[in-house]
Structure 1
Amino acid sequence: MPDTPARSTKAEQTRQSIIDSAMRLFASAGYDGTTMRAIAEEAGVSVGNAYYYFSGKEQLIQAYYDQIQAVHAVAAEVPLAGQADFTERLRGVLLAWIDVAEPYHGFAGSFFKNAAEPSSPLSPFSDDSTAAREAAIELHRRVLDGSDLKLAKTLRADLPELLWLLQMGIVLFWVHDTSTGQQRTRDLVEHCVPIIDRMLRLTRVPGVRGVVDDVVGLIAMIRP
């Protein structure tokens, strides 16, 4: 028998409750110090029910990745709306991510050591993280496509992924940033985005195009 709307809503509420409970426990006890049993108890469901929705803590983190990416996409609409200047678009999207992620900063470091392991499903480069990664790259494609930035076609095709890699570098800085409200990360965005804008605009200068082609070729060589 297919799920009725009421059943589907109840299931989604239960699923979200488990995610929210996991995030609270990760914040208070750390990723390694939190068990699925503790998450189930926090959510008010049985352990079996928790495992029905999520195979383990790794899948809960994937749900967190997907959730924060969805919220980020909504928050990014403000800086992207009616704004053609590339600097403003990129700055706004990167700062929007910091705003969205700020409530989770307290426990970000506790699972980062797991995410940093190349073979970990928590890695942003893993197959498990494909949906969140592709959504983030698509958001940076929107940053570029709606902007006034003129680029060589070859570089334009690869730039959204390169901007996502820039974001990953900023995320790493943010994880280690202990300043109030992660102000140092915000300052990093404010100062680096105009530099990136200037560097990208220089790629249309005839003497620089050869270097751009070399970079694009290097990207193609190292991409899996």
Structure 2
Amino acid sequence: MTKIKKSEETRTRILEAALVVFRERGFERATMREIAMTAEVAVGAAYYYFESKDAIVMAFYERSQSEMQPRIEASLTESKTLESRLQAIISTKFECFGPNRKLLGALSAHSDPEHPLSPFSRETSTIREQDVGFFERAVANSGVKLPVDIKPYLPRLLWMYQMGLILFWVYDKSEDQRRTMLLYEKTLKIILVVLRLAGIPLLRPIHRLAADLLDVVYGED
């Protein structure tokens, strides 16, 4: 075994051990010492690969994204409608994050963009923008006809919709998160109807108001 491969395996073992400890103890109560013991490495070795629990979570985010990416990209290539593409993206998230739903629930407390683990932070911007890119691909060539001043905002709005669903999901105590799946089904239908209606010329005054509002939210400072 090469030194590089051994190093990668040790890092992976520490990451896997951390996820186990986070599930059992919760993110806040877990310690690096407990993680090291579970991974059967020295505490110093754990700190060598990850300087903190935050660094471990960031590695979890990055690994999850890399694992989901080929699945989502394949689905986007195979699917033609916006509905099937959105279902592919969001359903993949639920499946991949399923084993760590409680961890995501604990991390949801860190929603402040100033916190490095927030999905809105500077530190997670690469992952976030790649995720928004999935929604850009979902919208492209999907037949959605929106005013030119609104369409550029749609991928980010859909990303926010996804984040809202995931937040509801992590706190959903119904069996197998049945309420989330029902919410997902119903709201997706509403979104698709709204998008179809949005292309009606009679609604142009509303289009302008919506564009102004979106510019306030997403425009430059």
The answer, yes or no, to whether TM exceeds 0.5 is: yes
Are 1:67 and 2:72 an aligned pair? no
Are 1:212 and 2:188 an aligned pair? no
Q: Which residue of 2 aligns with 1:18?
A: 14
The amino acid of 1:189's aligned partner reads: Y
Q: Which residue of 2 aligns with 1:168?
A: 163
- Bigger RCO of structures 1 and 2 (CA < 8 A, at least 6 apart): 1
Superposed structure 1 runs of 4+ greater than 3 Å apart: none
For 1:8 and 1:154, how far apart are their aligned partners in 2?
50
Q: Deviations over 1:94-135 (max 9, x none)?
A: 12211111111133323322x234432111101111122112
- Aligned residue among 75, 95, 99 for 1:99: 95
CA contact (8 A) 1:66 1:131 kept: no
The amino acid of 2:134's aligned partner reads: L
Q: Which residue of 2 aligns with 1:141?
A: 136
Are 1:131 and 2:126 an aligned pair? yes
- Aligned residue among 57, 63, 69 for 2:53: 57
For 1:46 and 1:60, how far apart are their aligned partners in 2?
16
CA contact (8 A) 1:174 1:185 kept: yes
CA contact (8 A) 1:25 1:39 kept: yes
Structure 1: any 5+ residue segments left out of the alignment?
none
Q: Which residue of 2 aligns with 1:193?
A: 188
What is the CA distance between 1:165 and its match in structure 2? 0.5
Q: Which residue of 2 aligns with 1:203?
A: 198
Equivalences, count: 219
CA contact (8 A) 1:91 1:189 kept: no
Report the 3-state secondary structure (helix = DSSP H, G, I; strand = E; otherwise coil) of the residue aligned with 2:161: helix
CA contact (8 A) 1:141 1:160 kept: yes
What is the CA distance between 1:57 and its match in structure 2? 0.8
- Aligned residue among 19, 43, 46 for 1:47: 43
What's the RMSD between the two structures over aligned residues?
2.0
Which is worse superposed, 194-203 or 47-56? 47-56
What is the CA distance between 1:68 and its match in structure 2? 1.9
Which is worse superposed, 157-166 or 145-154? 145-154
The change in CA–CA distance for 1:84 and 1:52 in structure 2 (over 3 A counts) is same
Are 1:181 and 2:176 an aligned pair? yes
The amino acid of 1:94's aligned partner reads: I
What is the CA distance between 1:78 and its match in structure 2? 5.2
